[in-house]
Amino acid sequence: MATASASDSETVHVLLVEDDEDDYLLSRDMLVEGFGGRFSMLWSPSWSEGLVQLTEGQHDVALLDHNLGGRTGIELLREANARGCRIPVLMLTGQSDRETDLGAMHAGAADYLVKGRVTGEILERSIRYARERHRLLEEIRSLSLIDELTGLSNRRAFFALAEQRLLLLERRAALCLLIFADVDGLKWVNDELGHEAGDRLLLEATRVLRATFRRTDLVARLGGDEFVILADEASAADIDIVVDRIERNVEERNTGSGEEFRLSISAGVVSFKADASVNLQELVAEADLRMLRRKQMRRRARLATGAAVPPS
């Protein structure tokens, strides 16, 4: 996904979420007028398809129609942001409405444009300004919300983003998983092999966790050797599946690694339904406790079989 401001030669990749074919054609014509041949556009004609593209597609900017069948573009933007949408979004509407305008702004829209009053020149300028503002905001955001070593969300970002996501999941009482993961042996690696090796260990753990979970799941580093993941739209069976998948991916990494240390991750999982009573701090503490119990069980099992016990 491009984050730099548009140049005269850059192709801008635009997502249009619009359920009316005539308005799709009108938007395409305005983009031709404003950008010439310097754009590509993907048209998503439904709310659900638009959500997939906003959270999983590779676009520079999105244009959302406000009225999308029985749902609104504002609802779509809120849902997409809660699922990790990281591109600037412009809202399009057929009528000027101050309440809708404010609603779009509060949902995170970069601009609010009224159909019939927009020209190709205005649309091009609005997209250009929105992308540049987004680039600057991302730079500021990364300074305070991104873990410098791993590139994951940090503790502050996790709790802010998780709270926002759970608010949107409340209406469906969606089943979620909170996973607390601990990288075993980080202190030993730092002491015996040096802090550069310790950093590589954490980066290996990050790669495994990213490969284990979906792009829409929220993966964060709380600090030190501790990671936390919020996964929604889960099932009861996913609890064991998640732990098994982590262990399988860790073993796959160890098999093909030339590092002098082995990667080991202990994880504890809590399942819960999103509702107003959820307390994230308590869930993290419970998942941490389950992780410690699992780690102790693994150590006892290794001791009982005479296998080597890795440093905790």
- What confidence score (pLDDT) does residue 237 get? 80
Final residue of a domain: which of 117, 142, 167?
142
Q: What is the CATH number of the domain that holds 82?
A: 3.40.50.2300
Domain boundary among the residues 82, 112, 142 is at 142
What per-residue confidence (pLDDT) applies to 102? 84
- What's at 103, amino acid-wise? G
137 and 180 part of one domain: no
pTM of the model: 0.61
Would you write out the chain's pLDDT as a tens digit for each of its 312 residues? Answer: 444 444 556 899 999 999 999 999 999 999 999 998 899 999 999 999 999 999 999 999 999 999 998 899 999 999 998 888 889 999 998 877 888 888 888 888 999 999 889 999 999 999 999 999 898 877 777 678 889 899 999 999 999 889 888 887 877 778 899 999 999 999 999 999 999 999 999 999 999 999 999 888 999 999 999 999 999 888 878 888 999 999 999 999 998 777 788 899 999 999 999 888 899 999 999 999 999 998 888 778 777 666 555 666
Asked, for residue 47, whether it belongs to a domain, the answer is yes
67-68 vs 71-72, strand pairing mode: antiparallel
Separation between Cα atoms, residue 42 and residue 260, nearest integer Å: 47
Assess whether 203 and 129 both reside in one domain: no
HEC-encoded secondary structure of 106-155: HHCCCEEEECCCCCHHHHHHHHHHHHHHHHHHHHHHHHHHECCCCCCECH
User: Are 74 and 184 in the same domain?
Assistant: no
- Do both 136 and 252 map to the same domain? no
Classify each residue of 130-161 as buried b or exposed e, where b means 16 or more C-beta atoms within 10 Å of its C-beta.
bbeebeeeeeeeeeebbbeebebbbbebbbeb
User: Are 190 and 298 contained in the same domain?
Assistant: yes
55 and 162, same domain (yes or no): no
Judgement on whether residues 211 and 120 belong to the same structural domain of the protein? no
Domain boundary among the residues 108, 142, 176 is at 142
Q: Is residue 208 part of a domain?
A: yes
pLDDT at residue 229, as a whole number? 97
Do 289 and 199 share a structural domain?
Answer: yes
Q: What CATH number is given to the structural domain containing 294?
A: 3.30.70.270
| Within-domain flag for 311 | no
Residue 59 domain boundaries: 12-142
For strand 89-93 and strand 67-68, is the pairing parallel, antiparallel, or unpaired?
unpaired
Letter string b/e over residues 242-257, b meaning 16 or more CB atoms within 10 A of that residue's CB: bbebbbebbeebeeee
Is the same domain home to 180 and 300? yes
Same domain, 137 and 115: yes
273 within domain boundaries: yes
Q: How many domains does the chain have?
A: 2
Structural contact between residues 217 and 161, judged by C-beta atoms closer than 8 angstroms: no
Answer yes or no: do 132 and 164 share one domain: no
Do 189 and 122 fall within a single domain? Answer: no
